[in-house]
Protein backbone atom coordinates (compact mmCIF):
# COMPACT_ATOMS: atom_id res chain seq x y z
CA UNK A 1 0.00 0.00 0.00
CA UNK A 2 1.47 3.32 -1.03
CA UNK A 3 1.57 6.52 0.99
CA UNK A 4 -0.95 8.05 -1.40
CA UNK A 5 -3.32 5.14 -0.86
CA UNK A 6 -3.02 5.50 2.90
CA UNK A 7 -3.70 9.25 2.63
CA UNK A 8 -6.82 8.38 0.64
CA UNK A 9 -8.03 6.17 3.50
CA UNK A 10 -7.93 8.98 6.06
CA UNK A 11 -11.36 10.43 6.76
CA UNK A 12 -12.60 13.10 9.12
CA UNK A 13 -15.36 11.79 11.37
CA UNK A 14 -16.53 13.58 14.52
CA UNK A 15 -13.79 16.12 13.90
CA UNK A 16 -11.06 13.45 14.13
CA UNK A 17 -8.79 12.15 11.38
CA UNK A 18 -9.41 8.40 11.34
CA UNK A 19 -8.90 5.27 9.27
CA UNK A 20 -11.67 2.68 9.11
CA UNK A 21 -11.10 -0.88 10.29
CA UNK A 22 -11.48 -2.40 6.82
CA UNK A 23 -8.78 -0.08 5.43
CA UNK A 24 -6.42 -0.90 8.31
CA UNK A 25 -7.04 -4.62 7.84
CA UNK A 26 -6.06 -4.24 4.20
CA UNK A 27 -2.96 -2.29 5.21
CA UNK A 28 -1.90 -4.98 7.69
CA UNK A 29 -2.96 -7.77 5.31
CA UNK A 30 -5.38 -9.44 7.72
CA UNK A 31 -9.11 -10.07 7.62
CA UNK A 32 -11.20 -7.28 9.15
CA UNK A 33 -12.93 -9.79 11.43
CA UNK A 34 -9.58 -11.15 12.66
CA UNK A 35 -8.32 -7.65 13.39
CA UNK A 36 -11.52 -6.70 15.22
CA UNK A 37 -11.28 -9.86 17.35
CA UNK A 38 -7.79 -8.76 18.45
CA UNK A 39 -9.16 -5.33 19.32
CA UNK A 40 -11.99 -6.87 21.37
CA UNK A 41 -9.52 -9.07 23.25
CA UNK A 42 -7.48 -5.97 24.09
CA UNK A 43 -10.28 -3.42 24.35
CA UNK A 44 -8.72 -1.82 27.46
CA UNK A 45 -5.93 -0.55 25.18
CA UNK A 46 -8.40 1.34 22.99
CA UNK A 47 -10.11 4.17 24.90
CA UNK A 48 -12.57 6.42 23.12
CA UNK A 49 -9.87 8.76 21.85
CA UNK A 50 -8.09 5.82 20.14
CA UNK A 51 -11.09 4.15 18.51
CA UNK A 52 -14.86 4.44 18.22
CA UNK A 53 -17.65 2.63 16.42
CA UNK A 54 -19.53 4.57 13.78
CA UNK A 55 -23.23 5.18 14.23
CA UNK A 56 -25.62 3.87 11.61
CA UNK A 57 -26.05 7.42 10.33
CA UNK A 58 -22.28 7.93 9.99
CA UNK A 59 -21.89 4.60 8.19
CA UNK A 60 -24.79 5.39 5.84
CA UNK A 61 -23.26 8.79 5.09
CA UNK A 62 -19.93 7.18 4.18
CA UNK A 63 -21.67 4.67 1.93
CA UNK A 64 -23.35 7.53 0.07
CA UNK A 65 -20.07 9.44 -0.26
CA UNK A 66 -18.36 6.35 -1.67
CA UNK A 67 -21.24 5.42 -3.96
CA UNK A 68 -21.48 1.90 -2.57
CA UNK A 69 -24.53 0.10 -1.27
CA UNK A 70 -22.70 -2.08 1.23
CA UNK A 71 -19.45 -2.49 3.13
CA UNK A 72 -18.79 -5.70 1.25
CA UNK A 73 -18.91 -9.27 2.38
CA UNK A 74 -21.28 -10.38 5.08
CA UNK A 75 -20.59 -7.52 7.46
CA UNK A 76 -23.26 -6.96 10.08
CA UNK A 77 -21.40 -4.77 12.57
CA UNK A 78 -20.88 -1.07 12.12
CA UNK A 79 -17.30 -0.10 11.21
CA UNK A 80 -14.76 1.05 13.77
CA UNK A 81 -12.71 4.19 13.21
CA UNK A 82 -9.16 4.43 14.55
CA UNK A 83 -7.37 7.67 15.38
CA UNK A 84 -3.61 8.04 14.96
CA UNK A 85 -3.07 6.74 18.51
CA UNK A 86 -5.37 3.80 17.82
CA UNK A 87 -3.49 2.92 14.64
CA UNK A 88 -0.22 2.90 16.60
CA UNK A 89 -1.71 0.69 19.31
CA UNK A 90 -3.14 -1.67 16.72
CA UNK A 91 0.24 -1.99 15.00
CA UNK A 92 1.66 -3.27 18.27
CA UNK A 93 -1.02 -5.95 18.53
CA UNK A 94 -0.73 -7.23 14.99
* pLDDT tens per residue across span 80-89: 999 999 999 9
> pLDDT of 7-58, one tens digit each?
889 999 999 999 999 999 999 999 999 999 999 999 999 999 999 999 999 9
For 3-93, the fitting CATH number among 1.10.760, 3.40.50, 3.30.70, 3.10.260 is 3.10.260
67 has pLDDT over 70? no
* pTM for this prediction: 0.85
Whether the Cβ atoms of residue 44 and residue 85 lie closer than 8 Å to each other: no
Give the start-to-end residue ranges of the domains of the chain: 3-93
Q: How far is the C-alpha of 86 from the C-alpha of 18, rounded, in Å? A: 9
| Strand stretches in the chain, DSSP E | 10-13, 16-20, 51-53, 80-82
What gap in Å lies between CA 89 and CA 87, rounded to an integer? 5
φ/ψ of 54, rounded to 5, equals: -65, 150
Amino acid sequence: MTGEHIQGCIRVIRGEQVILDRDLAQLYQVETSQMNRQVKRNIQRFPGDFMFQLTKEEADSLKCQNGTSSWGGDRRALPHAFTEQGVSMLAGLL
